[in-house]
Structure 1
Amino acid sequence: MALTKITLQNFRNHAASELAETAHFNLLVGENGAGKTNVLEALSLLSPGRGLRRAALGDLARKPDPDAEAGAFAIGASLIEQGQTSARIGTYTEADRPTRRLVRINGADASASALSEWHAVSWLTPAMDGLFTDSAGARRRFVDRMALAVEPGHAKHTSSLENALRERNKLLETGGDARWLDAIEAQVAQHGAVVAQNRARLITLLADELSALPPEPFARPILTYRPGGPIDVAELLAELARARPRDRAAGRALTGPHRDELEVVMASSGAAAASCSTGEQKAMLIAITLAHGVLASSGRPSVLLLDEVAAHLDPVRRTELFRRLRQGKAQVWMTGTELAPFADIESEAAIWRVSGGELKRL
């Protein structure tokens, strides 16, 4: 078990919701628009980043009046390890600073990246179905979120890398001091090498987990990490210095981990994931999610959020999904419009009926 005593205050359409006495399987059932995915989004914000919807903070606070200004919201939860409360974690905004995210851990102020040191959060949503045909940037974000399971400090390096790259672009555009450019490129190389190495390590570990899976009933994907430049600090630093004229003309850095790509092909056919059917793509995403769940639950609590997954699987795949989730260590949260698809796990699950942003325990 990972999270319990979860509270949502003025978050999306939830004025004040609480989920206690959670279980390994946790089901949120209700009509479309009831607020099920809002609960998953709240849980996803108990980790670094912008959550499963990547929404702006100002859009998250509940607005009783559509014309009202952005207010404040709060999300909290107790973290459970071996039946004992190990931490109280939370994230919130303030009414006078609705676009600034704040975090508290055990009553003390903390950074969002510190949340990944306590537990891992993974998710699969319908919006991710187009991952393989989306931009390379979307796949990098997907990899970076998963990399937190391997290295909790990964978020700090990705943030520092992005800041350093923006600063380098400005200096190249304005012709800033060469010594300052040297210093900024050292930061790009230092953080960029760590980011690239973490990504490469993640893909290697995922590949090992995926290779152990049978090809059916979920299509087994083969993952390949394609770095956008050197992943060694010294080599990346030298390449950045050589590429200054080219990057100045392009207005951006053309070499580095911000150009990385994740290539995915289906093992049984060798076809690129982007050209596979939507059903095959969904099956490969589920396989990746299950493999990552094994990594995420190694050595610390983990949470897996599955939005509207069960209803779109045939009975064979649904039964296999529940079997693997039951064997896993991650606490599982799933949504659905009805209980029927969850018949196999209904007796062992904590279930809430969601309606109009209100929760009722069944």
Structure 2
Amino acid sequence: MALTRLIVKDFRNIEACDLTLSSGFNFLVGANGSGKTSVLEAIHFLGHGRSFRSHLTGRVIRHEQPELFVHGRLQSTATQIELPVGINKKRDGTTELKIGGEGSQKLAQLAQVLPLQLITPEGFELLSGGPKFRRAFIDWGVFHVEPAFYHAWSRVKRLTKQRNALLKTARSYRELSYWDQELAVLAEEIDQWREAYLTEVKAKAAEICQLLP
């Protein structure tokens, strides 16, 4: 779905704005400090529930304001169906999400309806950084094409945390075998999804390379 309208209030240096967006390319033009990056940050906040510039809520909310609002309207390019989404965040960290007019408790649901890929100068870490950057990049793509991925990925996180806690008290490997068996099954499943996704990405990349001089 495409983001066709963006309403922002008390986000960074933006007091209030209401933007109508194209379902294709959009260009932001303005002087330094006029809020171009803040608009991009607000879109990222709408899709992820967090900023890509700071993890501190107080730095994102406009000075001396109690909360921020970022609302958007998504539109399907195929059916023209519209879906309103919104996030309100207070200085105490309280977050209110709404998707389709109904309250939600999971930030992952925002990412499902508004998939985003942020490209910044730090993106070179995909090449120069450690494997965790490349793994996170791949997992973000798999998350949007494989419905079961998020559940399996979350399960791996929980099992790993439980296994690590048990390592401190376990007297024998037998006590860890259950967690290892579960992790092995999930890890193989996730690996297959990653491989399938990369196969598709490689094919698309090859097509793009053919267009380059």
> Above 0.5 in TM-score?
yes
Cross-structure match for 1:196? 191
Q: 2:97 aligns with which of 95, 103, 106?
A: 103
- The separation in 2 between residues aligned to 1:137 and 1:108, in whole angstroms, is 35
The answer to whether the aligner puts 1:163 opposite 2:163 as a matched pair is no
Contact 1:75 1:90 in 2 (8 A): yes
Point out where structure 2 has 5 or more consecutive residues left out of the alignment: none
Larger radius of gyration, structure 1 or 2? 1
Cross-structure match for 2:107? 112
Write 1 or 2 for the structure with the bigger share of helix: 2
- The separation in 1 between residues aligned to 2:42 and 2:7, in whole angstroms, is 9
Residues 343-362 of structure 1: matches in 2 within 5 Å?
Answer: none
Q: 1:145 aligns with which of 140, 147, 150?
A: 140
Q: CA deviation at 1:77?
A: 0.7
**1:26 aligns to what SS in structure 2?**
coil
Cross-structure match for 2:204? 209
| Identical-residue share of aligned pairs (%) | 27
Cross-structure match for 1:339? none
**1:142 aligns to what SS in structure 2?**
helix
Cross-structure match for 1:6? 6
Q: In angstroms, what is the RMSD of aligned CA positions?
A: 3.1
Higher mean Cα deviation, 3-12 or 168-177?
Answer: 168-177
The answer to whether the aligner puts 1:93 opposite 2:92 as a matched pair is no
Higher mean Cα deviation, 204-213 or 155-164?
Answer: 155-164
Contact 1:15 1:62 in 2 (8 A): no
Specify the code of the residue in structure 1 equivalent to 2:57.
Answer: G
Distance 1:160 1:36, change over 3 A: farther
Distance 1:117 1:183, change over 3 A: same
Q: 1:175 aligns with which of 170, 173, 176?
A: 170
Distance 1:207 1:59, change over 3 A: farther
Specify the code of the residue in structure 2 equivalent to 1:166.
Answer: K
Contact 2:54 2:60 in 1 (8 A): no
Cross-structure match for 2:31? 31
Distance 1:155 1:59, change over 3 A: farther
Q: CA deviation at 1:19?
A: 0.9
Q: CA deviation at 1:37?
A: 2.0
- The separation in 1 between residues aligned to 2:50 and 2:186, in whole angstroms, is 21
Cross-structure match for 2:124? 129
Cross-structure match for 1:55? 54
Distance 1:153 1:57, change over 3 A: farther
Higher mean Cα deviation, 154-163 or 180-189?
Answer: 180-189
Cross-structure match for 1:323? none
Q: CA deviation at 1:206?
A: 0.5
